[in-house]
Chain A
Amino acid sequence: MTVVEARGLHKAFGKTIALDGIDLRVDEGHILGLIGPNGAGKSTALNAILGLTQYQGQLRVLGRDPWTERDQLMRDVCFIADVAVLPRWMRVSQALDYVAGVHPRFDRAKAEGFLAKTDILHASKIRELSKGMVTQLHLALVMAIDAKLLVLDEPTLGLDILYRKQFYDSLLNDYFDRSRTIVVTTHQVEDVQHVLTDLMFINRGRIMLDCAMEEFESRYLEVMVHPEKLAAARALKPMHERQMLGRSILLFDLKNRADRQQLAALGEARTPSIADLFVAVMGNHASEAQGAAR
């Protein structure tokens, strides 16, 4: 089943183009990572999916038009923006009461179960919780909702590595199954490398890369090249070259060039990190991207 389907999604703020005709398709059971520099249009795309912003082009989420049917859509869609959106004056118990009151698919016992594993007290006000605890609370609320699509916009911004790891662990172990779908944007790409099933790079309102993680692993190869073989390696047209500790690291797209064995003979080969590929892809559009990366 297709959960999100966008065709020619376009959005401009005055003269700034946030989304420049994006085509996007997310199927049930996938975890899509939307990666891009600040101002690339990630949040705008998510806001359009959530019915928070108007857009041009076609967009269906679970078969609905998010802009005109937001409240019905939100029965099946959950959303964590960033750590700051839970009302600071609210008590934890009130947050549970309220979501239980308005959300038909909220399982309060489940949320209480998640909270019991944390240090969060029911009587605490949200303003008294640490940033990490607020995220834990929001995640507990969201994971207790039997939703079809979960949208995460920089969910772990400003959290330390322990909370971040825990966040994605709970998401995978306690929430995700093949009938749910997750779309996530984050700058902490190393956190999600082994979480995602699909990867999308977006810059200046356009999609720069769209591939499944299986394809990512078989398609891209990073080689730390032996110095004496550098010229031979460069001849194979790497996507990108960088220096580390005096060694050259070359990133290859196997679709264009050479095979795995040939490259492995040039040095130590491994699957690149998402961050390295991101730098390579964006670097190739550097002249274009300069303005947008602010």
Chain B
Amino acid sequence: MTTPSNPVTESLDSPVSAPAAMAHTRPLFWSVRRELWESRSIYLAPLAVAAVYLLGFLISLFWLPRSLRTVATNHSMPPLIELAMPYSHAAMLLMATGLVVGFFYSLEALYSERRERTILFWKSLPVSDLTTVLSKALIPLAVLPLVVFAITVALQLIMRLVSLVALLVTGRDAAAAWTRLPLFQMELGLLYSMIVLALWHAPIYGWLLLVSGWARRGAFLWAVLPPLAIAAVETIAFRTSYVGILLRDRLIGFAASAFDLKDAAGVPIDAHFIPLAQLAPGRFLSSPSLWVGLIVAAALLAAAVRLRRYREPL
């Protein structure tokens, strides 16, 4: 017998102690891996979008030297924004892809296992409902943002290297304008945005997971129609739109909370390049809206955990 501080050797020496040696996080880790095996769109969809975007960017390089010269002479638009635009468009596109994938993933997560009867297999293993639901919630809340971030960074680096080569080949004078692009700052801003989005949208994913565990059919309709219907009824009945405002705030309200949308001089900032000084993490983290959202998300996930115990194949 080795020391208890070495669980790996211990489990090899004596199978009896293996259950004790198995860390609690192990089933969670393998459950997340299982999700990645099953839903390969989590990384394939962003990769495909990145590949298509890169192709478009390569074609656009034929115009790049000329447009950079225009940037140097024409000041109708701030040159930095003009330079940053293809990069920020790439980031926005991939972010949107991540949101779409996350939406449909969450709707399927607890639904397909019942439709395909595999829930009987998953439930025959010593994995708790909590671990299962948590592993499925981690995909839109942590895995997808990380995947999208990594792919975006890789894409932007490739774009930068390729355009550097293109400029060196065609016109050296344009290179000066090009080096002004603060890519590192952009990546930091992107990482911040990914975290903000995931935290802000957490209750949406919680709701989608709950519906996917509950609905017997038409999970999409059950997830989308009731909130819209409530908002519509409220507008018709009371001529107010609190629910509608609440829904819109939950979708896009993070922007006003997490970023200073005007600079020190009161000029609105351009979304294509948000300087680090305009990030407002303190205000975001202290906004009641965020914390109410997170509490609601936790409650919805707890309900989904509870519900899964009762669920059987469809």
Contacts and interface: CB of A to CB of B under 8 A. Distances in A.
A87 B113 CA distance: 8
Contacts of B22: 104
B311 to A, nearest CB: 9
Interface string B1-37: 0000000000000010011011000110111011001
Contacts of B123: 50-52, 70, 74
Interface string A44-76: 000100111110000000000001001111110
Nearest to A53: B312
B19 A105 contact: yes
A94 to B, nearest CB: 5
B312 A101 contact: no
Contacts, number: 85
Given A72-B126, A74-B126, A78-B124, A98 B19 contact: no
Given A70-B309, A84-B117, A87-B118, A104 B125 contact: no
Contacts of B26: 101-102
B128 interface: yes
Interface string B98-133: 000000000000000000111011011111110100
B111 to A, nearest CB: 14
A86 interface: yes
Contact of A99 (B37, B120, B125, B309): B125
Contact of B126 (A81, A85, A98, A103): A103
A54 B310 contact: yes
B296 to A, nearest CB: 26
Contacts of A105: 15, 18-19
A101 B126 CA distance: 11
Contacts of B126: 71-75, 102-104
A282 to B, nearest CB: 28
Interface residues of A, number: 37
Interface in B287-314: 309-310, 312
A188 to B, nearest CB: 20
B206 to A, nearest CB: 22
Nearest to A101: B30
A105 B11 CA distance: 11
A105 B21 CA distance: 11
Contacts of A70: 123, 128, 309
A54 B312 CA distance: 11
A265 interface: no
Contacts of B29: 101
A181 to B, nearest CB: 16
A136 to B, nearest CB: 15
Interface residues of B, number: 30
A85 B37 contact: no
Contacts of A103: 125-126
A94 B21 CA distance: 23
Contacts of A91: 37
Contacts of B34: 94, 98
B216 to A, nearest CB: 15
A67 B309 CA distance: 8
B31 A102 contact: yes
B121 A87 contact: yes
Contacts of A71: 126-129, 131
A104 B19 CA distance: 5
Contacts of B125: 74, 99, 102-103
A99 B122 CA distance: 10
A87 B127 CA distance: 16
Given A52-B312, A73-B126, A102-B127, 15 more contacts: A50-B124, A52-B123, A53-B312, A54-B310, A70-B128, A74-B123, A74-B124, A85-B118, A86-B118, A87-B116, A97-B30, A101-B30, A101-B33, A104-B126, A107-B15
11 contacts: A71-B127, A71-B131, A78-B124, A81-B120, A87-B38, A87-B118, A87-B121, A91-B37, A94-B34, A98-B30, A102-B27
Q: Which 10 A-B pairs have the closest CB atoms?
A: A101-B30, A79-B124, A104-B19, A71-B128, A74-B126, A85-B120, A102-B27, A87-B118, A85-B121, A75-B126
